[in-house]
């Protein structure tokens, strides 16, 4: 259930923008989009700062999402009644994923850049200022001034380096606020999704932001909205929110091996296997269904074996495993088509 623009990211060969009536509003009020520190707007999706602001022809963004979901449910009623549509994955951000658009190719990001915080539209800045005032430190109502740019590395940047400002009093305040905005957005939209699709299974997707996982700050995850530094579990709160709404978690990068990442980009200090294991356990500890998919084309035996290993861990004492796996890009000619396999 897409609430985002298609196109402009890695592997995209089509372009489907947001509805014309939305982009018209964006021409006069560009703050409806996520914005980086330099003022660059990202038109992939609407900022969560307008979730409760009546700026879309007297409707809030959340009301627009609900009207869209409800209209879809009514229009395709026979497919729901006959069980042809058996599950709805709710889009919660760019690429349909619950994350900030922190690493957009359209703004020059290249792997393994840390990305940038996306909170500089006037609505999110108003939220940050209010949070700072409630904390009693109004001067904290600003974004980090030393967080680098899209293609920076953590050790180069004062905010993200070991012992950096991400772990200062201000840094912890900002990252708590930034990540809570993400969780609150998912909470609001999924509550309404359960109303629109009552009786239908619902899922939500998280991105596998695995680069810089072996550093203390986990910088790429922080800019994406996952407050998952080395001394904090950033995925358990998200899993708890999904459990509240009975929503399944869909995660990616299940085919990736840490050794392969190290050989290709040793400077990225990536650890997709460690990240997958952490998210697996967060979902299982919250007792929510877990689905997954491969992030990149996967035709090799090693990647396929890694998928099987993650899907059904052999030595899990509780017999936990995936509920569904989506095998993306089965051939070079498949144009991104998917095949669902029940595990």
What pLDDT does 139 receive? 96
* Candidate from 35-44, 62-71, 226-235, 247-256 with smallest mean pLDDT: 247-256
Q: Where are the alpha helices (DSSP H) in the chain?
A: 20-28, 61-75, 77-81, 122-135, 169-196, 219-224, 236-244, 258-264, 272-285, 301-311
Q: Which residue has the tokens 């680069």?
A: 211
Average pLDDT, the chain: 91
Q: Give how far Cα 114 sits from Cα of 147, 159, 223, 284, Å.
A: 9, 12, 7, 29
What pLDDT does 323 receive? 82
Q: Which residue has the tokens 């994350």?
A: 99
Q: Give the active site residues.
A: 97, 293
What pLDDT does 330 receive? 66
Cα–chain center distance at 78: 31
What is the token pair recorded at 162? 């070991």
Helix (H, G, I), strand (E, B) or coil at 301: helix
What pLDDT does 94 receive? 95
Asked if the model's pLDDT at residue 342 lies above 50, the reply is no
Asked if the model's pLDDT at residue 339 lies above 70, the reply is no
Task: Please compute the mean of the pLDDT values over residues 158-183 and round it to a whole number.
Answer: 98
* Candidate from 2-16, 91-105, 158-172 with smallest mean pLDDT: 2-16
What pLDDT does 336 receive? 46
> Helices 122-135 and 169-196: crossing angle, nearest 10°?
120
The string of DSSP letters for 154-217 reads GGG-TTTSTT-GGGSHHHHHHHHHHHHHHHHHHHHHHHHHHHHTTTSEEEEE-----TTTTSSS
What pLDDT does 341 receive? 45
Q: Give how far Cα 4 sits from Cα of 19, 97, 242, 249, 328, Å.
A: 10, 9, 20, 19, 20
* Candidate from 81-90, 176-185, 264-273, 325-334 with smallest mean pLDDT: 325-334
What pLDDT does 304 receive? 79
Here the contacts of 226-231 (C-beta below 8 Å, separation 24 or greater) are: 226/99, 226/179, 226/182, 227/175, 227/176, 227/178, 227/179, 228/278, 229/166, 229/167, 229/175, 231/167
Phi/psi-derived region of residue 184, left when phi > 0, alpha when psi is between -120 and 50, beta in every other case: alpha
Task: Please compute the mean of the pLDDT values over residues 215-233 and round it to a whole number.
Answer: 97
pLDDT digits (tens, 9 = 90+) for 34-46: 999 999 999 999 9
Q: Kindly indicate the confidence band of residue 154, based on its pLDDT and cuts at 50, 70 and 90.
A: very high
Percentage of residues in the chain having pLDDT higher than 70: 94
* β-strand pairing of 33-35 with 41-46: antiparallel
Q: Give how far Cα 306 sits from Cα of 119, 144, 284, 293, Å.
A: 36, 38, 19, 12
Q: Give how far Cα 204 sits from Cα of 2, 84, 255, 291, 313, Å.
A: 11, 19, 19, 10, 23
* Neighbour count for residue 287 (Cβ, 10 Å): 9
Asked if the model's pLDDT at residue 9 lies above 90, the reply is no
- Cβ neighbourhood burial of 186 (10 Å; 0-12, 13-18, 19+): buried
Q: Kindly indicate the confidence band of residue 209, based on its pLDDT and cuts at 50, 70 and 90.
A: very high
* Residue that wins the pLDDT comparison between 92 and 342: 92
Q: Kindly indicate the confidence band of residue 97, based on its pLDDT and cuts at 50, 70 and 90.
A: very high
What is the token pair recorded at 290? 């877990």
* Candidate from 132-141, 245-254, 314-323 with smallest mean pLDDT: 314-323
Helix (H, G, I), strand (E, B) or coil at 33: strand
Asked if the model's pLDDT at residue 221 lies above 80, the reply is yes
pTM over 0.75: yes
What pLDDT does 332 receive? 57
Determine the longest span between alpha carbons in the chain, in angstroms.
Answer: 57
Residues contacting 7, CB < 8 A, separation 6+: 14, 15, 16, 17
């Amino acid at each position: 259930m897409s609430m985002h623009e298609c196109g402009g990211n890695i592997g995209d060969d089509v372009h489907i923008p947001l509805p014309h009536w939305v982009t018209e509003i964006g021409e006069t009020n560009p703050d409806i989009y996520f914005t980086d520190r330099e003022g660059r707007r990202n038109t992939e999706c609407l900022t969560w700062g307008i979730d409760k602001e009546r700026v879309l022809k007297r409707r809030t963004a959340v009301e627009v999402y609900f009207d869209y979901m409800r209209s879809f449910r009514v229009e395709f009623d026979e497919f729901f009644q006959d069980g042809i549509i058996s599950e709805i994955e709710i889009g919660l951000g760019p690429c349909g994923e619950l994350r900030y658009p922190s690493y957009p190719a359209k703004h020059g990001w290249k792997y393994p850049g840390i990305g940038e915080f996306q909170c500089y539209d006037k609505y999110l800045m108003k939220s940050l200022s209010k949070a700072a005032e409630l904390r009693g430190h109004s001067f904290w109502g600003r974004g980090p001034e030393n967080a680098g740019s899209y293609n920076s590395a953590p050790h180069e940047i004062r905010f993200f380096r070991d012992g950096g400002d991400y772990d200062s009093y201000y840094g912890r305040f900002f990252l708590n606020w930034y990540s809570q905005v993400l969780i609150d957005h998912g909470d609001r939209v999924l509550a309404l999704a359960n109303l629109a699709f009552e009786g239908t299974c619902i899922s939500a997707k998280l991105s596998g932001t695995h680069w810089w996982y072996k550093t203390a700050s986990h910088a790429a995850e922080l800019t994406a909205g996952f407050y998952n530094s080395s001394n904090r579990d950033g995925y358990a709160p998200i899993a708890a929110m999904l459990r509240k709404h009975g929503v399944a978690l869909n995660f990616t990068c299940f085919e990736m091996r840490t050794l392969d990442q190290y050989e290709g980009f040793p400077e990225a200090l990536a650890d997709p296997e460690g990240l997958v294991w952490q998210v697996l356990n967060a979902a299982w500890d919250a007792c929510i269904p877990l689905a997954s998919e491969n992030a990149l084309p996967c035709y090799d035996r090693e990647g396929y074996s890694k998928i099987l290993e993650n899907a059904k861990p052999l030595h899990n004492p509780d017999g936990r495993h995936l509920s569904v796996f989506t095998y993306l890009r089965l051939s070079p000619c498949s144009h991104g088509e998917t095949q669902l396999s029940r595990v």
